[in-house]
Amino acid sequence: MAVDTLTESVAESVFECVGNTPVVALNRLFPEPDVEVIAKLELMNPGGSMKDRSARHIVECGLREGSIRPGSHLVESSSGNFGIALAIAARIHGLRFTCVLDPKAAPANVAILRHLGAEVDVVTEPDEMGGYLHTRIRRVQKIVAGAPGAIWINQYANDRNWEAHYHGTGAELAEQLIRPPSYLFGAVSTTGSLLGCSRRLRERFPDLRVAAVDAVGSVIFGGPAGPRDVPGIGASRVPELFAPAEIDDVVHVNDFETAVGCRDLLAAEGIFAAARQGRWSQRSGARCPTCRAPAGWSRSSRTAATAT
């Protein structure tokens, strides 16, 4: 008798669909013969960003070990994407979630958060650096202090942030890439995604160089604080996760260049991406003068792997 060997591929929740994102070559955006730039399309995660990975890992690890209990109240400061990812996690696992935002958050993200059931708290007072991050964190701390049992996720200091990308994004790239990349580019804010990816990739490709793409006006790498209107990249404080010894190069991109990068990526590749991708598309490969391929290399040599 014939045995039916077919199995259904049905996820138990949308969060089980996080990860396994594709990698594509950006040959139209970067046609130079001595540069190959590839991109991992994290925008194809269910919540629209790589923040789905860290939110899932942080919440599900916490539930397994008991640091997060059924019905817990999660609180976090976010510029949008991580808040959306946590709101999805909270909805799936029956948790309460308060997201602290500022006036620069995209109205669409605010609407999504509210539809997902998150409690949205918007600060309006700029902090001493001229931004809102310190004000948001102080609001988070006030909420947690006044709500017994509330849990601050604290993505800037939570090791499970970078671990999510070590076990997820970085592990996938290590399997998807056969030829070794010379550079890994990644936009930074908490620095968790770049560090997690690079730590995993360097286990397989030890000669990999890591380039952080930061915002003009961000203080992560010691630059002066300045105005930044595009959310989701850069920071007005140095993250506790930050490990500067593990980053070889840093390039800074302003808001105008970010917008141009997003438009270029859409026009050349048909990829409708967000600000983080606009920043690295302005600085990856041929547009980063320190990241050119050595003389004699051809397009068969991979000169940049970009996590988006």
pLDDT tens, residue by residue, 1-51: 555 677 788 999 999 999 999 999 999 999 988 889 999 999 999 999 999
Averaged over 181-194, what is the pLDDT? Answer: 95
Residue 301 has pLDDT above 50, yes or no: no
Averaged over 153-182, what is the pLDDT? Answer: 97
pLDDT tens, residue by residue, 130-155: 889 999 999 999 999 999 999 999 99
Residue 109 has pLDDT above 70, yes or no: yes
Distances in Å between the Cα of 265 and the Cα atoms of 39, 207, 250, 254 are: 11, 28, 21, 17
Report the percentage of the chain scoring pLDDT > 70. 88
Residues with Cβ within 8 Å of residue 188, at least 6 apart in sequence: 194, 212, 213, 214, 220, 233, 234
In the DSSP assignment, the letter for residue 1 is -
- Pairing state of beta strands 23-25 and 37-40? antiparallel
Q: Which residue has the higher pLDDT, 307 or 76?
A: 76
Cα 144 to Cα 46: distance, rounded to the nearest angstrom = 28
Averaged pLDDT of the chain: 89
Q: What is the amino acid identity at position 80?
A: G
Cα 215 to Cα 217: distance, rounded to the nearest angstrom = 6
pLDDT tens, residue by residue, 210-269: 999 999 999 999 999 998 888 889 999 999 999 999 999 999 999 999 999 999 999 999
Record the tokens describing residue 106, joined without a space. 């995209």
Look at residue 300 in the predicted model and tell me its pLDDT: 47
Cα 276 to Cα 49: distance, rounded to the nearest angstrom = 10
Helices (H) and strands (E) in the chain, counts: 9, 10
